[in-house]
Amino acid sequence: MATASSINVYDHYAHEDDYADLDVNGAALRLSRAIACRTVYTTPGETDFSAFETLVELMRSSYPHVMAAGSLELVGHSVLVTIPGSDPALRAVQLMAHQDVVPVVPGTEALWEHGAFCGFLDDEYVWGRGALDIKDMLMGELEAVEYLIAHHGTPRRSIYLAFGEDEEVTSQGAAHLAEELLRRGVRLAWLLDEGTTTMCDGAAYGAPGTVISDICLSQKGYLDVRLSARGDGGHSSNPFGGTSLERLCRALACVSTSKPAPQLTPIVGDTFRTLAPHVTEEPFRTLVADVDANAERLAEVAAGTRDLHPFVSTTVAIDQIEGGSAAPNVMPGNVSATINLRLLPETSIEDALSLVQDAVDDPGIAIELVHATPAGRVDSVDGAGYAELREVFEHYYPDVVVVPSFVCGGTDAIRYESVCDSVLRMSPFRPQPEEETRGVHGTNERISRRTYAQGIRVLVSLLEHTVL
């Protein structure tokens, strides 16, 4: 039975002779130069914005047709490229990415075969931080628009390219870009942002041997909640009433055992409907015959597997604890723990916070909402851009079943719901699964020239199908 890591994605590449004059070597070189810009965002006061400025100048100098046809402007340190279309009555489209990358994990520098920010380029790969997350998408989108304008001239629809500065941290850059579009009265037909990049075997869904990929139509919400218990310390020989850490642990145990029941959201229901003709293994084979009638059982079975659990569950992860005593014979003082929840689409922040509050039956435990991002709006497979993206993707990656899904993490795309009818999340760049697993936020991040070129072809074709 095939697993994600055993899939050779190149077996599913096709039509690599399309756009024969595409400057693949030049595109790889430009990507390597973008990777060499150390665009690590920390805080507004601590970030070295000179790297972001260098990246912007690279954009300006590398894509003459884009710059001649439109404008590049800064909103803070985020980038907005506007290419006016010939028919202002048509709603615009938007391609998205983010400029910032995560730092190299301290202590792992020597494990990199090439410097993380040198943009090393060999005959097969472009190496460095951002090669997969997601300067490949940022530069690849510019490559595609440059090619489109060079070969077709002015598009009928306007095209926006929006590159936030801080997606890996707070996503405020994207929020400001969206506010600017709203202020200008821009309404987008659809946008494309990052999503999952892997192809995987459908075994988790009861469809072994079926290679699947997804177009994400929403994203999970994010919630950090801190529980705190006060304590006066003292000698551990008299822990009358329990220590602060003991009370905190009881509260955490209550939260852990009060997780919400799994739920089959409409999107995951559509995932199973799309896969139904390919499902051969029980119990899914029987259950997908009537997804609506078997929704509760489908969610229950899916929740029992590692791969599908996040797609049917608002997850609760107890990740941090602070304030324990420095010695075993000393009672702790004030202690706290932080819980991270990832909310299913259509689950509100208020409902998730109530889940924690209802589980903690101790008035001595303080509950504080630290950070929250709501779950994304649930868009439709019938929305603008979905059918075209699916068609183009299946052209370049045949024998892959495309299913609707949602992102379990977060993306900048959620910031644009107020100005966009159809928010799509899918990366057109398809690396080998082991490269994606190892490289994204990890060591020796890299993308093959072949993968990069194929993703650019997807973007060019998508634009040809939708903006000309």
Residue that the structure tokens 């998730």 belong to: 352
Burial of residue 465 (CB within 10 Å: 0-12, 13-18, 19+) is middle
CATH class of 221-260+314-375: alpha beta
Amino acid identity of 450? R
CATH code of the domain occupying 4-201+376-466 = 3.40.630.10
CA nearest neighbour of 274 among 376, 202, 379, 196: 202
Domain spans of the chain? 4-201+376-466, 221-260+314-375, 264-305
pTM of the full predicted structure?
Answer: 0.93
Place of tokens 């340190």: 77
> What local confidence, expressed as pLDDT, does residue 2 receive?
40
Over residues 274-316, the pLDDT tens digits come to 999 999 999 999 999 999 999 999 999 999 999 999 999 999 9
Q: Write out the two tokens for 52.
A: 């972001």
Collapse the DSSP code of 437 into the 3-class scheme (helix H, G, I; strand E, B; otherwise coil) and give the result: helix
CB 174 within 8 A of CB 161: no
Q: State residue 4's pLDDT score.
A: 52
Helix, coil or strand: residue 401: strand
Evaluate whether 132 touches 197 at the Cβ level (below 8 Å). yes
The pLDDT score that the predictor gives to residue 5 is 55
Q: How far is CA 81 from its chain centroid?
A: 22
User: Which residue do the tokens 């931080």 mark?
Assistant: 129
Virtual CA dihedral for 30, 33, 35, 38, nearest 10 degrees?
A: -150
**Of 74, 71, 32, whose CA–CA distance to 52 is shortest?**
74
Amino acid at 148: L
pLDDT beneath 50: ranges in the chain: 1-3
Residues 6+ apart with CB under 8 A from 188: 91, 92, 93, 94, 160, 181, 416, 419, 420, 421
List the end-to-end C-alpha distance of the chain, in Å, as a whole number: 43
Q: In angstroms, rounded to a whole number, what is the distance separating the alpha carbons of residues 429 and 132?
A: 8
